[in-house]
């Protein structure tokens, strides 16, 4: 590999679902801070080592707010990328995040566990009634996170059909028309304006009502921020959680001896979910959202000048042999596991504790109630939505006996 | 008046949120876990905000007599 020519980005798709592109591992070893070129010619630095990726995510010399500028390469998230928590730097970010943080702490999430276990059982009961092969995405992986976040926010689950198409479109993808994404975002905004008015009239014990009170009683966020926060919370965790459920199942089926171990050791589900979080490649390009340097920063001996785009490759960092023993091996009982599958720093996933609990309950339900669940088609027949950030399978046909 | 700052290292999951938000007050050690840069600090809203936002409630901000400083 030559040291100076930029590499085309996105990288070619990896040959398997279960590992990062071989080029990423090569880069991590030989060129951990590499310049890449987007199709439109914009340049960015791709960072692949665990320590460097953590620095990019945590160190305040890397800004998310600057990354939303017109001249920066844009990917994924569509309009959400410009308006929500993920688009702000401290202190603005801090002010907004603290308004929602309490609803997502480990302690609060534990209180929701029995309710989530019930949702899991109900969905599995519904799945069983389907003719086989049944689509796991439609009957389980997607409705679970949607139902859970709707409960938490106080969004009527019956409205799901209204917002699902918009949320799909608002997340956007590399090729998608900017107008389509913007239109979907506007529709979601209209939906939330209605919902907020309804809740103003009749507040309930839910997160949207609490946010409305923070707006109306204490003026701690603007009306626009209130709407954007609602949209972000509603759609932010769907695809990610659904994708992880699908990928966790595929990964376990690909590692039958590990799957047997987990069935025999249900008490280790929490550790197993951490290992699956580390192992699973969230998107095919495995890069997280771009940051921009506010001053020159040195990473692994390379000085990145101020004002440049930097992409932290979380998927590659989670396979760094300097941090994880035998990193490309799935080891569900792995003891030391400082993976960064939920990011790090001020943007560390707001829903991390919630997602962990949902994933634990989802696996517990599937493994105990449908112990011989199998995917009915080979991996080569799975089709994925072309998003940059999250790789989501359109349909996952499953069978059981 | 000074505050005292504590991080429960057993509880800390190394999210890096506090150190990302207020690097003057929180530092990540080699294990990626947080610790206060100084145990005694001047009252600081940013530190309170970081304590509120810790996903596992590992940060305690205490007054002189060990009482918890209210978050709001
Ligand atoms: C397994 C499922 C999930 C995964 C893998 C995941 C992953 C991530 C990652 C990597 C980030 C950091 C992005 C960055 O810094 O560039 C993030 C941020 C975020 N996630 Fe998640 N997430 C998941 C589930 C959820 C859920 C269920 C919610 C629902 C509340 C959620 C809400 C958010 C929000 C609001 C942010 C932005 C936080 C901020 O900027 O302060 N996520 N997520
Ligand atoms: S915010 Fe909490 S969990 Fe995260 S590093 Fe700080 S103390 Fe640890």
- The enclosing domain of A244 has a CATH number of 1.10.630.10
Residue of A98, A103, A353 to mutate when probing chain B, most B C-beta within 10 A:
A98
Token pair 């829903």 in the structure block, residue: A351
User: Which of the 8 DSSP states describes residue A266?
Assistant: G
Residue of A55, A106, A220, A355 to mutate when probing chain B, most B C-beta within 10 A:
A106
Distance A80 CA to ligand 1 centre (A): 13
CA distance A50 to A312: 9
Best CA proximity match to A232, nearest among A369, A384, A378, A99: A99
For the entire predicted model, the pTM comes to 0.94
CA distance B72 to B70: 6
Q: From the CA of B40, how many Å to the nearest CA of chain A?
A: 22
ipTM of the complex, rounded to two decimals: 0.92
List pocket residues of ligand 2, CB cut-off 6 Å.
B 7, 12-18, 34, 54-56, 58-59
B43 touches chain A (CB under 8 A): no
> Residue A200 has which token pair?
């103003």
Distance B7 CA to ligand 2 centre (A): 8
In a domain? residue A343: yes
- The rounded radius of gyration (Å) of the Cα atoms in chain B is 11
Across the interface, do B55 and A106 touch by the CB < 8 Å criterion?
yes
Q: Residue A160's pLDDT is what?
A: 78
A244 and A278 in contact (C-beta within 8 Å)? no
Residue of A232 and A1 predicted with greater confidence:
A232
Specify the number of domains making up chain A: 1
Percent of chain B at pLDDT exceeding 90: 83
pLDDT digits (tens, 9 = 90+) for A38-76: 988 999 999 999 999 999 999 999 999 999 877 777 654
In a domain? residue A50: yes
In a domain? residue A29: yes
For residues A379-385, average pLDDT: 88
Measured over the CA atoms of residue A360, residue A366, residue A372 and residue A378, the dihedral's sign is negative
In a domain? residue A1: no
The answer for A147, left when phi > 0, alpha when psi is -120 to 50, beta otherwise, is: alpha
- Provide the β-strand partners of residue A311: A46
Best CA proximity match to A24, nearest among A32, B59, A40, A98: A32
User: Which of the 8 DSSP states describes residue B68?
Assistant: B
CA distance A306 to A292: 8
| Coil, strand or helix at B12 | coil
CA distance A247 to A260: 17
Cα dist from A49 to A114, A154, A313, A345, A352, whole Å: 38, 40, 8, 16, 22
In a domain? residue A2: no
Distance A334 CA to ligand 1 centre (A): 23
Range of the domain at A130: 7-399
Q: From the CA of A346, how many Å to the nearest CA of chain B?
A: 4
CA distance A319 to A313: 10
CA distance A91 to B50: 11
In a domain? residue A146: yes
Mark out the alpha helices in A160-204 (DSSP H runs). 160-171, 178-201
Percent of chain B at pLDDT exceeding 70: 99
Q: Indicate if ligand 1 lies below 6 Å from the C-beta of A347.
A: yes
φ, ψ at A230 (rounded to 5°)? -60, -50
- Identify the helix (H) or strand (E) that includes residue A361: helix A352-369
pLDDT digits (tens, 9 = 90+) for A171-225: 655 455 667 777 777 888 899 999 999 999 999 999 999 999 999 988 888 998 8
């Amino acid at each position: 590999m030559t040291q100076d020519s930029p590499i085309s980005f996105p990288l070619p798709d990896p040959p398997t679902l279960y590992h990062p592109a071989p080029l990423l591992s090569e880069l991590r070893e030989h060129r951990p801070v590499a310049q890449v070129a987007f199709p439109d010619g914009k340049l960015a630095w791709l960072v692949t080592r665990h320590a460097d990726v953590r620095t990019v995510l945590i160190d305040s010399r890397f800004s998310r707010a600057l990354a939303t500028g017109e001249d920066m390469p844009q990917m994924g998230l569509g309009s959400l990328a410009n308006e929500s928590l993920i688009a702000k730097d401290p202190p603005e970010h801090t002010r907004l995040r603290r308004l929602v943080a309490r609803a997502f702490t480990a302690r609060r999430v534990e209180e929701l566990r029995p309710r989530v276990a019930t949702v899991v059982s109900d969905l599995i009961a519904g799945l069983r009634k389907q003719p086989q092969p049944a689509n796991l995405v439609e009957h389980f992986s997607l409705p679970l996170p949607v139902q859970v976040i709707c409960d938490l926010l106080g969004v009527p689950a019956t409205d799901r059909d209204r917002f699902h198409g918009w949320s799909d479109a608002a997340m956007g993808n590399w090729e998608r028309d900017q107008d389509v994404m913007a239109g979907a975002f506007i529709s979601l905004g209209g939906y939330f304006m209605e919902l907020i008015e309804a809740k103003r009239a009749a507040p309930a014990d839910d997160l949207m009502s609490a946010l409305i009170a923070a707006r109306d009683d204490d003026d701690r966020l603007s009306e626009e921020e209130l709407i954007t926060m609602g949209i972000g919370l509603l759609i932010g965790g769907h695809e990610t959680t659904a994708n992880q459920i699908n990928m966790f199942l595929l990964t376990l089926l690909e590692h039958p001896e590990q799957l047997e171990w987990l069935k025999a050791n249900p008490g280790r589900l929490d550790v197993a979910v951490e290992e699956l979080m580390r192992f699973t490649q969230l998107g095919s390009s495995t890069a997280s959202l771009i940051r921009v340097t506010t001053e020159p920063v040195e990473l692994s001996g390379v000085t990145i000048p101020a004002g440049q785009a930097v992409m932290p490759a979380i998927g590659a960092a989670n396979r760094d042999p300097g941090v994880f023993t035998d990193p490309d091996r799935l080891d569900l009982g792995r003891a030391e596991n400082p993976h960064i599958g939920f990011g790090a720093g001020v943007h560390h996933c707001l829903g991390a504790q919630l997602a962990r609990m949902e994933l634990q309950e989802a696996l517990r339900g599937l493994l105990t109630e449908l112990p011989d669940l199998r995917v009915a088609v080979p991996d080569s027949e799975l089709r994925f939505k072309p998003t940059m950030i999250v790789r989501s399978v359109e349909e996952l046909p499953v069978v059981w006996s | 008046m000074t505050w005292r700052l504590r991080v429960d290292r057993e509880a800390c999951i190394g999210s890096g949120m506090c150190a990302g938000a207020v690097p003057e007050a929180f530092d990540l050690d080699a294990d990626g876990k947080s610790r206060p840069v100084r145990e005694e600090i001047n009252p600081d809203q940013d530190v309170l905000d970081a304590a509120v936002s810790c996903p596992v409630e590992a940060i305690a901000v205490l007054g002189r007599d060990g009482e918890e400083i209210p978050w709001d």
